[in-house]
Structure 1
Amino acid sequence: MSYGNQGDGGYGSQPPGGGYGQQPPSGGGYGQQPPSGGGGYGQQPPSGGGYGGGYGQQPPSGGGYGQQPPSGGGYGYGQQPPAGGNPPDNHLVAAILTTLFCCLPLGIVSIVKSSQVNSKWQVGDFQGAALASEEAKTWWKRSLIAGIIWWVLVILFYVVVFVLLAASVPSSSY
């Protein structure tokens, strides 16, 4: 049984008398095979030797479905990585440290942005990965600045409290 040549019925032919979805009389249309005997669905290409085509055969380069290209690509959407080939720095270590020691809310934003860098790079969104890297750097720096300001204020508070307590204690003379 051959699915390629469907002259007298089959999947691509029209019912007698036309009807819904009738094909134009020019011989072309959806579901019909081209009039040239060169091929159709399910037929092998008419090459004589070598590769020969067909389902289940590998191309001569040795590649196939599920294999990575020899250049180590796999970047998605048919895009090639920028010249460097490596994803931008995700600033995850700085984001975690500033979250723990400086400012929790701003540090969390930095961690979220830094976690987006590698995932965007893997799907081929190189500009998005670079933007997420810059945003992660911006947010961990903001967290660092907020933490520095916070600790300076805490130290000033303790100094002022210490000075006020020292001034309120009566001095005794011996």
Structure 2
Amino acid sequence: MSYGNQGDGGYGAQPPGGGYGQQPPSGGGGYGQQPPSGGGYGGGYGQQPPSGGGYGQPGGYGAPQTPPDNHLVAAILTTLFCCLPLGIVSIVKSSQVNSKWQVGDYQGAVQASEEAKTWWKRSLIVGIIWWVLVIIGYVVLFVLVAANAPSSTY
């Protein structure tokens, strides 16, 4: 049975080398030339994106990054018990940590965390100095009052 004039090989003359187009000498066995891979997962999948993964850096394939500590508890306690003005600055800085982290400003969140820590420590130091001076003042006051008090002898 014949299907018409097929000539020498059916679908026309084949080029020398076997057909399907000329393959570049890739040494990999065909399917086109693969781009040189500098890593990845063992194939020509293109360049893999760099992963961050450092502290305060997005990306990476490990556990998700956690936001830096906002120091809010220490800021509130030092505001209440130590130094009100410096504590308020600390509360403002600590409230900026989570908001900056949520919008993707990772470095800004880390910086706000460090500033909040600095301000609550300043508030603590000023508060300690204040309370030491108050106690010294009361001791001196009691000593002066006791020294000047008339003594009664019976």
1:80 to 58, 64, 74: 58
- 1:39-118 counterparts in 2 under 5 A? 80=58, 85-118=65-98
- Note the aligned Cα RMSD (angstroms): 1.6
1:110–1:139 CA contact under 8 A, matched in 2: yes
1:133 aligns with 2:113: yes
Please report how far the alpha carbon of residue 171 of structure 1 lies from its aligned counterpart in structure 2 after TM superposition: 1.9
Please report how far the alpha carbon of residue 170 of structure 1 lies from its aligned counterpart in structure 2 after TM superposition: 1.9
C-alpha distance after superposition, 1:81-113 (max 9, x if no partner): 577600000000000000011000000000000
TM-score (norm 2): 0.59
C-alpha distance after superposition, 1:10-49 (max 9, x if no partner): xxxxxxxxxxxxxxxxxxxxxxxxxxxxxxxxxxxxxxxx
1:162 aligns with 2:118: no
Aligned length: 96
Please report how far the alpha carbon of residue 115 of structure 1 lies from its aligned counterpart in structure 2 after TM superposition: 0.3
Q: Which runs of 5+ in 1 are unaligned?
A: 1-78
Q: Which runs of 5+ in 2 are unaligned?
A: 1-56
C-alpha distance after superposition, 1:44-101 (max 9, x if no partner): xxxxxxxxxxxxxxxxxxxxxxxxxxxxxxxxxxx83577600000000000000011
Change (3 A) 1:81 1:120: farther
CA–CA distance in 2 between the matches of 1:149 and 1:155? Answer: 10
Flag the structure with larger Rg: 2
CA–CA distance in 2 between the matches of 1:124 and 1:81? Answer: 12
Please report how far the alpha carbon of residue 172 of structure 1 lies from its aligned counterpart in structure 2 after TM superposition: 2.4
- Larger helix proportion, structure 1 or 2? 2
TM-score (norm 1): 0.52
